[in-house]
Amino acid sequence: MPATMSRIILNDILRQELGFRGVIVTDDLGMRAISAKLKEPETTIRIVNAGADLLCMCAYWADTSLILEMVAHMSDGLKNGTIKEQTLRQSFERIAALLSDVPNHKVERLSAETFAKHAALAPLRPRTPPAASAGGAAKA
C-alpha cells in the first residue's frame, strides 16, 4: 500500500512517533501508484483518513471531472461517517496555520509584453496531454 493511503505511516509514525505537526501533502495522485483506483470512493476516503491534508492532482494526468468526483467522495464520506468532521477540521487548522505564516502578495495580471519576454526566455512546447485512463493516469 502506498504511504499516501497508510494511516500507520502518516499518522502513527509521522505524526505520533516523530511528532510532525505540519501539513501533509500527497505526491501527485494521478501517477501510477494509485491512479487506477481514484474513481473508487474508498481510495479518497482512505487517503483523507490516513492523515493527508492536501491531495495533489496534476492536470497532466487527470481532468477536472475526476477531481470533482474525489471531492464528492469526501463529501459523501463526511455525510455517511466514513470521514469524521474532526479529521477535516484538523486538516483545515493545519493548512490555515501554514497559510498564516506565508507572506500575502497582491496578485496582479502580468502585461502581454512581460508574457512575451517570458516566452522568449523559456518557450512553451505545444503538448497534447495523453488520454486519461478510467483511473485518471496517462497511459504510457
Q: Indicate which residues carry an active-site annotation.
A: 27
42 in Cβ contact with 5 (< 8 Å): no
Residue 115 CB burial class (10 angstroms; 0-12, 13-18, ≥19): exposed
Instruction: List the one residue out of 85, 86, 83, 89 whose CA is nearest residue 70.
Output: 83
Residue 49 sits at φ, ψ, to 5 deg, of -70, -20
**How far is 9 from 4, CA to CA, in rounded Å?**
8
